[in-house]
Amino acid sequence: MSNPAPHPEVLAAFEQAKGFMPVDEGLALYAAAVEAAALGLPLLEVGTYCGRSTILLAAAARDAGVTAVTVDHHRGSEEQQPGWEYHDAGLVDPELTVTAADGTRTVRMDTLPTFRRTLFAAGLEDHVVALVGRSPRAAALWGRPLGLVFVDGGHTDEHAGADYEGWAPHVAPGGLLVVHDVFPDPADGGQAPYRIYRRALESGAFAETSVTRSLRVLRRVADGV
Ligand SMILES: C[S@@+](CC[C@H](N)C(=O)[O-])C[C@H]1O[C@@H](n2cnc3c(N)ncnc32)[C@H](O)[C@@H]1O
């Protein structure tokens, strides 16, 4: 049986949105979201950025009558800061400049306005709850099962590990844990997402159901993390 595909207008909104996810991974994420939403539980994303992947979770949530929740402090990850590989100068808040003790001035990013415009333009605002803050703090407040957890936040061991420990325990039986940027070969990318993916498999609580480039989908098959 073929995977469910998003409506053409949803796919077009995804393709137009700023972000890092290629289309084939997006289609795999959407298929996972459709499957998980059938559990009747919320879908949660860590790493909203400008809403590119959120669009897919929101569309699946809308069609199943559930809610997509997305968490981000909207200040960007390490590699998105000025001077780094993934920086987008169009996502800086010109009014937020911080001056260090040595006089160095740095700007702050703010992806929240772009995210809100993206979601509004896609007509999906009503199906999303956006949590603005640090992922571990949001996870510490969370107290209910989730149909899907999509981890695409900070890519250091500290951040990815905290995302796994904070959110994976909430994946319901039969629910899905999706991890982005899983690179078994260090030559292809950072290893933190790969390490949490390995932790999930080695826990015995999750089993892999699909691999699309760096996007891995795991299903909860036992208790624990
Ligand atoms: C790779 S981007 C997400 C890309 C997005 N999922 C997409 O498909 O376009 C990672 C995002 O995680 C956020 N982030 C990083 N560490 C975080 C943390 N500890 N808590 C909340 N958000 C975090 C960053 O601000 C950034 O927007």
Residue 194 pLDDT greater than 90, yes or no: yes
Q: Is the pLDDT of residue 1 over 70?
A: no
Q: What is the mean pLDDT of residues 82-108?
A: 91
The pLDDT tens digits for 29-41 are: 999 999 999 999 9
Surface-to-core class of residue 45, CB atoms within 10 Å of its CB (0-12 exposed, 13-18 middle, 19+ buried): buried
pLDDT tens digits, 120-176: 999 999 999 999 999 999 999 999 999 999 999 999 999 999 999 999 999 999 999
Record the tokens describing residue 78, joined without a space: 């390490």
Ligand 1 residue neighbourhood (C-beta within 6 Å): 19-21, 47, 49, 52-53, 71-77, 111, 134-135, 152-154, 159
Distance CA 99, CA 122 (A): 37
pLDDT class of 2 with cuts at 50, 70, 90:
confident
DSSP-based three-state secondary structure for 196: helix
* pLDDT for the residue 198: 98
Selecting among 155, 159, 170, 180, the annotated active-site residue is 155
CATH numbers and ranges of domains, the chain: 8-74+111-220 (3.40.50.150)
DSSP 201: H
102 pLDDT more than 70: yes
153: helix, strand or coil? coil
Q: What would the two tokens of residue 50 be? A: 């400008």
Strand-pair category, 92-99 with 171-179: unpaired
- Tokens matching residue 79: 């590699």
The lowest-confidence range among 60-64, 79-83, 159-163, 183-187 is 79-83
In the structure encoding, which two tokens stand for residue 40, read together? 């009747």
**Which of 52, 72, 118 for a ligand 1 pocket mutation test, highest count of atoms within 8 Å of Cβ?**
72
Whether residue 155 lies in the annotated active site: yes
Write the DSSP symbol of residue 127.
G
Ligand 1 pocket mutation, candidates 46, 86, 88, 196, criterion most atoms within 8 A of CB: 46
How many other C-beta atoms are found inside a 10 Å radius of the C-beta of residue 123?
15
Q: Kindly give the distance from the C-alpha atom of residue 80 to the centroid of ligand 1, in angstroms, as a whole number.
A: 9
CA distance 87 to 67: 30
For the chain, what is the mean pLDDT?
A: 97
Beta strands in the chain (DSSP E): 43-46, 68-72, 92-99, 105-109, 128-132, 146-151, 171-179, 206-212, 215-220
DSSP state letter for 40: T
**β-bridge partners, 210:** 217
Distance, CA of 75 to chain centre: 15
